[in-house]
Structure 1
Amino acid sequence: MDKKSIEAILKDYHWMMNSIKLLRSSMIDAGDKLTAQYGDEAGMPKAKGGSQSDPVFQEVKRREKRLNVVRKYEDKVKVVQQRIHLIVEEREMEILHWLLEGKSLRWIALHMGLSLSHVKRLKDSIVEQLANGTNGTNGTNGTNGTYLPKEKSVV
């Protein structure tokens, strides 16, 4: 996944999670309120298919479309959730969690006592690691992902 996509997901993560939670709870609530019909109503003929004038059918269609949108949100959220383990540095992890809570970079900088530009650099590092699927500690000789050739001995 590319950096721009990861950055957009991090920015939108908080409200997407809220939408997922609200829709799931509303779908559960709607299912609890369904009741069976008894007596004369049970034997009466029902409308076939879903006519355009049937408000219940229209509501079902609307909710189905909404459910498809939320499934897309779930897929995006899972991308970040499955890659969180890649962030191992303590400051980066703290920044990532505040981003997922919907906090701004300015708020994070004030909260952590860091400069805004430093928080931006750390966020860029987080995005890089999540996009590449690697953490920043995989480099040779602890060089944060860069390759430095070993020094040759003079012997």
Structure 2
Amino acid sequence: MNKWQLEDLLKDYHWKLHSVKIMRESMNEINMSMTAQYGLQAAMPKAQGDPSDPILKEVERRDKRWKKIHTYERDIQFIQARLVFVTDERETEVLHWLLEGKSMRWIGLHMGLSDKHIGRIKERIVAQMSHKSQTSEKCIC
């Protein structure tokens, strides 16, 4: 993973985490509210793979949603696995606020630093996290 991809993951971390929580809750509510068909509807044979079958379309839609949830979870876990590589106190504070979805300007005001300085700190964080991910990917071979 290159530095730009890692920066995007840091930037998207907060909303992806929030989205996973909401999507899981909604998918579980949908699963709980599904009712079985009764009477003639239940006894009628269903065509396999019929593109007009609303149940098949709903299953496919939900499957895509679960795949999206798993993609977001993989991105979140990628970042979480690299949090230990950031050990400097100032960098840890900046990283915390980035993961909370705060802007560099907000972080700069909060910490009494310029947003450009926060940008340089973020670059160091990304460099540490991407360097560690590159070395760990080489070891997996």
TM-score class, shorter-chain normalisation, is 0.7 to 0.9
Q: Does 1:59 align with 2:61?
A: no
User: Does the C-alpha gap of structure 1 residues 99 and 43 become closer, same or farther in structure 2, counting only changes over 3 Å?
Assistant: closer
Q: Deviations over 1:58-79 (max 9, x none)?
A: 1221221222222222111111
Normalized per residue, the structure richer in helix is 2
C-alpha RMSD of the superposition: 1.9
Residue 53 of structure 1 deviates from its aligned partner by 1.9
Q: Indicate the percent of aligned positions where both proteins have the same amino acid.
A: 45
Q: Show the counterpart of 2:128.
A: 129
Q: Distance in 1 between matches of 2:42 and 2:72?
A: 42
Question: Is 2:5 the counterpart of 1:17?
Answer: no
Structure 2 unaligned residues grouped into runs of 5+? 134-141
From the CA coordinates, give the structure whose radius of gyration is larger: 1
Q: Which amino acid aligns with 1:116?
A: D
What TM-score do the two structures reach when normalised by structure 2? 0.84
Higher RCO (CA-CA < 8 Å; seq separation 6+): 2
What CA deviation, in whole Å up to 9, does each residue of 1:29-79 have, x standing for no partner?
Answer: 1111123455x3586223132422222321221221222222222111111
Give 3-state SS (helix, strand or coil) of 1:27's partner: helix
Residues 1:108 and 2:107 aligned together: yes
- Number of paired residues? 133
The TM-score normalised by the length of structure 1 is: 0.77
